[in-house]
Structure 1
Amino acid sequence: MEQINAIELKHVTKKFGEVIANDDINLNLRKGEILSILGENGSGKTTLMNILSGIYFPDEGQIAINGKEVTICSPKDSLDLGIGMVHQHFKLINVLTAAENIILGLSGKQHLRMDKINNEIDSIIKSYGFELDPKQKVYDMSVSQKQTIEIIKILYRGAEILILDEPTAVLTPQEIAKLFIVLRNMKNAGKSIIIITHKLNEILDISDRVAVLRKGKYIGTVPTSEASVDSLTEMMVGEKITLDINRTEPVSPEKRIEMRGVTCKNREGISVLKEASFTANGGEILGVAGIAGSGQKELLESIAGLHDIESGEILYYSPEGRVEKISDMKAEAIQNLKIQLSFVPEDRLGMGLVGSMDLTDNMMLRSYKEGNSIFTNRKTPKELANQIVEDLGVITPSVDTPVRKLSGGNVQKILVGREISSSPIVLMVAYPVRGLDINSSYTIYNLLNEQKEKGVAVICVGEDLDVLLELCDKILVLSSGHITGIVDARTATKEQLGLMMTSSRKEKKAND
């Protein structure tokens, strides 16, 4: 008997002007399976899923759900067909409970008693092995609990097909293991699941099959049992590439940045970094790990003079033996002291680059003083812009193109390239490969290693624990604003880091 697919896409094409995001895609999702969709940034994964979830409408092609051809014109159409998508960025109201968020916007539920609704949600929780209290307020939840609400929200609405966009990006290894147990339980119950992710080892662990897209085209689908990291990478990129980070041993590391008992508050007056103390050495890469919002942003910005501190101090040790207290200085004052500090912030176009300026003008932003700067004319910065475009494979019509017209990955390459080119003594990078394809990511990793070998103190905030363990010499772990430890990256494990990333929250719960 012929198998009926949960989803079947036939010759689906989607264009945005002259750009073909999806080019004649043929793909299917079987009933009761977990299908991973893999591809570099710009391969068309998100566009394709947005078509299924009713955000975009295809220009050409057909969609069949459970063997029946359908038309999806809106998210409501998608949900009515049993398709639910969980996006990377959660859409929850913090002051409401889990249950109140789950029923929000559902007609016919407002008249029901909350104890009945809580019982219905409890039934879903027990069916699939979730861990959640329906009565708990969202503001008091971990990231994984918030993600659980989003998944239960679409299950409560009757979804039989689930699309998860980068579901493990902000989870600890322990939370990922729990999520995978839940996903397998859902699959065994007959649900069909699509996962969009870039983590190849996780794809091999959880998927039944892997579908690969490249530059908007469908390359093929392979059983996970017949795939490997190397084979999937080759399908995704189109050629064999070496995925090795050339980490070297530190040689004569010297103290460059010392943070002593630093506390920072956010705009609401809440302490987001709490009595943080650590040392970053030249000739080493110090990784920073933590669940999103644990104080990573404030840690880097306080060193760069972009975030005021409430207490404590930050010291800079120059190669000439000079010691400067920089915790009371703004960014411009730090530069005026000729402290060679480069910073790649998380907010690329908000803090790092000016979107309306072209590549050459953005190179000139590294000049803070008039007169002796190498950037007093446009020739040298233009040469630098051309060099970064060539070395990092930036896709742009020319160096005269406004940065805002480039893709996120190309913007990231420009920013990282510019900061490294300034010959820093201290280099701080937040998520330096976010938005980059695998090949470009490993180029950046090896550039960071080159800086380390030149004696630069590199501080790298990352979200992929596998990469931090392979790239860094030491890893500092943040949990709810506290530094819970600094470990040797050569001997630490993901599981150890995961426990440290949640220890502060667990201690708080135990004391409540």
Structure 2
Amino acid sequence: MSRDNHTLVLELQKVSKQYGTVQALSDVSLDCRAGEIHAVVGENGSGKSTLLGIASGFVEQDQGVVLINGKRLRTDSPAEAIRLGLGMAYQDNSQVLHLSVKENLFMSTPKKLRPSYWKMKKWATDTLAEYELDLFPDAPTMFLTLAQRQLFEVVKALISEPKVLLLDEPTTALGPDEVDLLHRMIQTRAEQGMGVVYVSHRLPEVLTVANRITVLRDGQSQGTYDAANMSEKDLVSLMIGRAFHDAFPPVSPTSE
């Protein structure tokens, strides 16, 4: 995977967020470079979803700054985030279920990239083929399987040609072949210069696809690491705050 180490497409600087008495994030910083896949891992409740919400403009941070392509994002402004070059595939999907696949694609595409209405079907067919997604353009979206909808959600985000793409648990409904397809999609775009922030709890996948990994624990960053230098045990130790062998000691065989 190619990386441009000089171009930051997303920066979160000392971001904090509190919900009532719960400190969801505390002074967290993260950046994503053009051409890299930057994974974010952590246990449930570690702050991953809040981090993505702030980066995409859906959640207003209490402190800190978000920069997209070097330009400051106004707090709580998803439309501004998109205008600055951010794309996001939503965990719960954003499709209009009673519309067809081609209509959902058309609606998700910026006007400057859309075909004419009468060429929509051929354009949708070509777009789906480009991403190796075997869907009928005229099919109502409600009839897609959960895995198809999850992959379709990523395609909908990619066709807007974002500078940085946020993925929130993108493989939860996918089997091994579909995970491979998703990874090919984002690796191809990363090689073309797009940055990807990849939130997942599936550590083997993260170690396979990511260039760098940031670990969150209890709303705080435990550091950012080169994926090539990390193992699953390393990540688990950082996520839980103690050595892997202490948290999961070997089981002694029972004597009969």
Q: TM-score, normalised by structure 1?
A: 0.44
Question: Which residue of structure 2 aligns with residue 43 of structure 1?
Answer: 46
Residue-by-residue CA offset, 1:193-245 (whole Å, 9 max, x unaligned):
11111111111111111100111111111111000011011111110134589
> Partner of 1:63: helix, strand, or coil?
strand
Q: Which has the higher contact order (CA 8 A, sep 6+)?
A: 2
Q: How does 1:74-113 map to 2 (within 5 A)?
A: 74-104=77-107, 113=116
Question: Which residue of structure 2 aligns with residue 505 of structure 1?
Answer: none
Shift in CA distance, 134/166, structure 1 to aligned 2, threshold 3 Å: same
> Is it true that 1:34 corresponds to 2:69 in the alignment?
no
Q: Distance in 2 between matches of 1:156 and 1:183?
A: 12
Q: Give the Å deviation of 1:2.
A: 7.1
Shift in CA distance, 39/72, structure 1 to aligned 2, threshold 3 Å: same
Shift in CA distance, 92/192, structure 1 to aligned 2, threshold 3 Å: same
Q: Give the Å deviation of 1:125.
A: 3.6
Question: Which residue of structure 2 aligns with residue 164 of structure 1?
Answer: 167
Q: Give the Å deviation of 1:119.
A: 3.9
> Is it true that 1:137 corresponds to 2:153 in the alignment?
no
Q: Residue 184 of structure 1: which of 175, 182, 187 is its match?
A: 187
Q: Distance in 2 between matches of 1:19 and 1:245?
A: 35
- Is the Cα–Cα contact under 8 Å of residues 168 and 199 in structure 2 kept in the other structure? yes
Q: Distance in 2 between matches of 1:207 and 1:63?
A: 22
- Is the Cα–Cα contact under 8 Å of residues 130 and 182 in structure 1 kept in the other structure? no
Q: Distance in 2 between matches of 1:104 and 1:54?
A: 20
Shift in CA distance, 105/221, structure 1 to aligned 2, threshold 3 Å: closer
Q: How does 1:54-93 map to 2 (within 5 A)?
A: 54-93=57-96
Question: Which residue of structure 2 aligns with residue 197 of structure 1?
Answer: 200
Question: Which residue of structure 2 aligns with residue 410 of structure 1?
Answer: none
Q: Distance in 1 between matches of 2:132 and 2:75?
A: 31
Q: Distance in 1 between matches of 2:208 and 2:69?
A: 27
Q: Distance in 2 between matches of 1:91 and 1:70?
A: 22
Q: Distance in 1 between matches of 2:99 and 2:250?
A: 45
Question: Which residue of structure 1 aligns with residue 228 of structure 2?
Answer: 225
Q: How does 1:75-474 map to 2 (within 5 A)?
A: 75-104=78-107, 113-242=116-245, 243=248
1:7 is matched by which residue type in structure 2?
Answer: L
> Partner of 1:29: helix, strand, or coil?
strand
Shift in CA distance, 191/115, structure 1 to aligned 2, threshold 3 Å: farther
Question: Which residue of structure 2 aligns with residue 331 of structure 1?
Answer: none
Residue-by-residue CA offset, 1:415-466 (whole Å, 9 max, x unaligned):
xxxxxxxxxxxxxxxxxxxxxxxxxxxxxxxxxxxxxxxxxxxxxxxxxxxx
- Is the Cα–Cα contact under 8 Å of residues 73 and 81 in structure 2 kept in the other structure? no
Residue-by-residue CA offset, 1:51-99 (whole Å, 9 max, x unaligned):
1111111111111222233324322112112212212212323332111
Q: Distance in 2 between matches of 1:91 and 1:229?
A: 32
- Is the Cα–Cα contact under 8 Å of residues 216 and 222 in structure 2 kept in the other structure? yes
2:216 is matched by which residue type in structure 1?
Answer: L
Q: Distance in 1 between matches of 2:168 and 2:5?
A: 30
Q: Give the Å deviation of 1:159.
A: 2.1
2:42 is matched by which residue type in structure 1?
Answer: G
Q: Give the Å deviation of 1:166.
A: 1.0
> Partner of 1:104: helix, strand, or coil?
helix
Q: Give the Å deviation of 1:171.
A: 1.0
Q: TM-score, normalised by structure 2?
A: 0.85
Q: Distance in 2 between matches of 1:73 and 1:167?
A: 23
RMSD: 2.6
Higher-Rg structure is: 1
Identity of aligned residues (%): 31
Shift in CA distance, 93/208, structure 1 to aligned 2, threshold 3 Å: same
- Is the Cα–Cα contact under 8 Å of residues 234 and 244 in structure 2 kept in the other structure? no
Residue-by-residue CA offset, 1:385-404 (whole Å, 9 max, x unaligned):
xxxxxxxxxxxxxxxxxxxx
Paired positions, count: 246
Shift in CA distance, 97/221, structure 1 to aligned 2, threshold 3 Å: same
> Partner of 2:244: helix, strand, or coil?
coil
Q: Distance in 2 between matches of 1:2 and 1:97?
A: 40
1:13 is matched by which residue type in structure 2?
Answer: S
1:165 is matched by which residue type in structure 2?
Answer: D
Unpaired runs of 5+ residues, structure 1, are: 249-512
- Is the Cα–Cα contact under 8 Å of residues 33 and 193 in structure 1 kept in the other structure? yes
